[in-house]
Structure formats: C-alpha cells, structure tokens
A and B are shown apart, each in its own frame.
Chain A
C-alpha cells in the first residue's frame, strides 16, 4: 500500500472487518497523517487553558507541533509551532505566558497572534524581504464550541458546524454540570503512551464489550466495580457472578452514532438515588441554586458514558474528563487526559472528581492500565499473518434508528461504533489532500 490510490484503500475496509494493515502498515499511517490529521477537525485545547493575554499551550495536531495562544485582542489563535526562518520549534514549554514568542535559534520574535514582530540584525535581510510573509502560520480553520477549540489544517472541507453539530448535545451534557455553566481544564493532566496504533484507543472509548473481561481486575467478588463517582458507595454491576457472565444491565447498555465517525454510549447504570456525600450534596445544592431544582435534577440524571468526537478526542460523563489521542507512529500513541473543573462547584466536589480520575485514568490507574495492556497485545498479535482480517461484525445489521436522538442505535456490546469510525476513516482516506 504505497501509493494511496483510493481503490487500494477501499480494499482495506469490508462491511464487518478491516484489514490488519490499517493498524500495522507505516504507509497507511503516513496517509492517515496527511488525509485524516491533515484535514479533519481536530480538538486542540480549551479556552480555559489560556485565560489571560499571552497565555499559551503547545500540543500536536497529528505529528505537527502547534501553539494555542490568547492574544491581546482576546482572540485564541492556533499557530504552527515552526519558526518561519529556519524551521525550529519556537515554543518548547508545554504551557506558559509570554508577550512574544521568540525562537531560540536566531531570535526571531512573534506576537501571540503569529505576527512576526522583530528580526535581529534586520539590515541583513534581503532587499525584497517582506516581513509580513513570515508570520507564524495559522491553522487554516479554527472553530470553537463552549470553550472547546478545534482546528483543521486544511483550508477546505466540511464546516465546523457540520462536523461538531451532532455532538453539541454531548458537550452540553458535560458543560451544563458546572453551576456557572463553564468548564476549566486547569487542574493538570494525565499522560500515557503505548506501543500500539492510535485507532486502538479511539475504538476502545466506546467499547462496552471489553469491560467485564478487560477490566476483570476492577470488579469485586460480587461482580461490582469500584465506585468511580463522588458520592457513590459502589460502582456498576458488570458481571453476574453466579453465571459468570456479563451482567444483564451491562448488556442492555446502548451505543449511538450520528455521522462523521462520532458516537457515544449510554450511561453506566448506577443507583443514583443513593448517590450522596458531603461534597456531592453541597454541589447538588449549589447547582440547584443556580439553575433551579428541576433543571439540576435533569442535569444530574446520567445519560452518557463516553462520547467520541472523531478522530482525536473523547469526553466522559462518568469520571468526567476530556481525552486527546495523538498518533506518534504506526505503533506508538500518546494520550492526554484532562480532569475537568466544574466552574462554580465546591472545591471538595472538584477534588472528588480529580481524586477518582487519578485511579481510573492516570498512567498508574486501575482501569486505563489494563486497556493499555490490551492495545499493546493487539499490536503484537496483529503481526501474525494467520489472517489478514480484524473482525468488527458484532451486531452487523441489527442497528436501528433512534428518531428522538436523531441517531442510529445498537447494543453497546456490539461493534456498530467501530464500523462507523471506519466509514468516516474511509471517507477521509479516499480523498487526496
């Protein structure tokens, strides 16, 4: 698969299976960087990470280093982190504040909107040197919804509105939980890496099939997982221990797709009537005070477990967080998990969320580590030529429309969501950038 012809790429995806090359072939990966990560709307960061003028964070879109900065004009700019002179990465820190972004190599200095502000020894510049042609490149398109900043590295393509539209409700579900109606991603991050393809993580976030097996070590002898939300005394019933099989309530969970590779899973069934702790009760009181008791009740009624905004981010409604997936190589991926601070919520409630996310999604957590082991083993197993095909056929043909949600629905232990991701994948991959 060297040339990237649309016909060759199409051969990798069949109705209930995908060719192992999508996980293992470096040429496929190079094409993904060009056609998916070089074109799609990608999550960059959240405006709360750069509250003041001069604040910046650095990250990567695909493999390309970028800066997200707050300029004096109040705008948030997504800039390519590459000096327009000789190519050095301009900002090396993960975050900071600076009035100017100065390259370490020859001292070229850029404003936080990317404008080239000064060049040392300007008399050495060529006679026709046009300073304005050397501003830091901006991401061609940037979109924002409730503080979530996305960018596309392609000048053309589907609009941000078309891309994010089906997932706005999922973002609202999270943001509305903040008594002040806004989130802040300013409480640190978890970072982990694994020797496996990026899609293994993307596929996993909506995979409810693996939980009773992949996360067996998080389930007690009664088949119940540890408590993962502030105020819960115990977690979800995952396994029916007598029959040693997946619990009925777990099997009943649903997954949804709504185009563009996006999808989500319904909430984990928990006893919400018993959810109580000093921190949670106080949060509930503050939320009701701000939005009214009825609305607070609606907001606190769980609907969503994980939501995937294809291709590079997910948000979770159980242990609230934002997850960003960064491909590094065909068999190497880095993931960043941001805990969420609910603005206006009591500090104890926010601590409750941070504390539990430490044990669910840090590199040293109870849950994420077993997923990482599965990803690593998948990458190893896929070296085998026993068959060229990876099966994703569970529930094929059993999908049904959900008119109320304007989505397509299936059992969460089925693989509809993965098939939807490959449909979107193929859509990007068939188009030359």
Chain B
C-alpha cells in the first residue's frame, strides 16, 4: 500500500503527539457538551474561525453560503446570544453528547508550529422532546501554544450539510 501524499506526522514529534491532541479534542467536545461556550471560544486563536460548510467539499467560505462561518467577533455575538435569558430557541436548552474518534494527524507544518487533525464527530442533540443526530468529519488546524494548542480553524463537514435543517442553536 502506498503512503498517503500528505507528510506523515511522527507521533511524539515536538508536541504534536497524538495523545495530547486527542486529549485536546476531547476537552473541546466536553466544553460544548457542558455549555461552557466562553471557554470553548477561548480555545480559538485570535485569528481563529469556526466553519461548517453548507455543501460537501466546499472549497471556500468566501464565495458561497455556509451553515456557520464565525470569526472571533461573530463567535462572541453567537455566545452572548446563547447566554441571553430570552433565547427562545434554547428554551428549553439543547443537551448534547459529542463523540470524537478516528483521529488522524493529517498535516504538519513545523515552520508555523501548526498541524491539521482529522477526526470523526457524532453529536446527539436532545431538545424539547426531540432527539437528532449530527455526524461528519471535522478538521482542526491547531497551532502550538505553550504546552497546549489554539484552534486556527475548526471545520466540520456534516454528512447531511446540504439538507434542510430544523433550527440549529448550538455549535457542533
């Protein structure tokens, strides 16, 4: 079997070891599940973005609609709204359970101190007598920050990204 074209990451190399990355992804998912949205936003770099494309293999957020494409400013507005006492679409609030697996370090850029980690995410959401499932592959571009990481971009490609959704209030 031929090696994949992407540069193989060497586990344990300079902070990009799989265990600490997985630990980070799980920590991120648990922040979302416990509705600690401000701390979740704190994981992002100042230039960080959160992107959920609206079509499969969407090339860019700049020339077509996305379900989410938040920079830090929009993320802050989103979270202020999630904390607002009169957010009707979160009355009652969503409860979510994320499962993150199939983690692969897919790219490493040592010069920038960045790597791209792919993982499969399943989020089950329950709200107001209804339960639904979101699933897809997500990619985190992580930048080394001391002993941990900052998210430069989190991209979630839902398998049903181009379907008609009922209201979605919480990030995947």
> For chain A residues 313-352, which have a beta carbon within 8 Å of chain B?
334-337, 339, 347, 350-351
> In A354-386, which residues have CB < 8 Å from any B CB?
354-355, 357-359, 362-364, 366, 368-370, 372-374, 377
Q: A225's closest neighbor in chain B, by CB?
A: B77
Nearest CB in chain B: distance from A335 CB, A:
8
Give A355 to B66 CA distance when docked, in angstroms: 8
Give Cα distance in the complex from A218 to B87, angstroms.
8
Residues from chain B with Cβ under 8 Å of A372 in the complex:
89, 166-167
Instruction: Classify the interface of chain B: helix, strand, loop or mixed.
Output: loop
Asked if A193 meets B165 with Cβ closer than 8 Å, knowing A358-B67, A359-B77, A364-B67, the reply is yes
Do B65 and A339 touch (CB < 8 A)? yes
Nearest opposing residue in chain A for B66, CB measure? A358
Residues of B115-157 whose CB lies within 8 A of A = none
Q: Can you name 13 A-B residue pairings with CB atoms under 8 Å?
A: A187-B63, A188-B65, A192-B166, A193-B164, A213-B86, A216-B84, A217-B86, A217-B87, A217-B88, A355-B69, A359-B78, A363-B165, A372-B89
Tell me whether B54 and A189 are in contact (CB under 8 A): yes
Given contacts A218-B81, A373-B89, contact A354 B63 (CB under 8 A): yes
Nearest-neighbor residue (CB-CB) of B172 within chain A: A364
Which of these, B61, B63, B77, contacts A350 with CB under 8 Å?
B63
Residues of A within 8 A of B80 (CB): 220
> Counting CB contacts under 8 A, is A285 at the interface?
no
Tell me how many residues of A have a C-beta within 8 Å of chain B.
Answer: 41
A194 to B67, CA, bound (A): 17
B70 CB within 8 Å of chain A: yes
What residues on B are CB-neighbors of A220 within 8 Å?
80
Complex: A334 Cα to B164 Cα, angstroms: 7
| Residue of B64, B67, B88, B168 with most partner-chain A CB within 10 A | B88
Residue of A nearest to B80 (CB): A220
Residue A190 is within 8 A (CB to CB) of chain B in the complex: yes
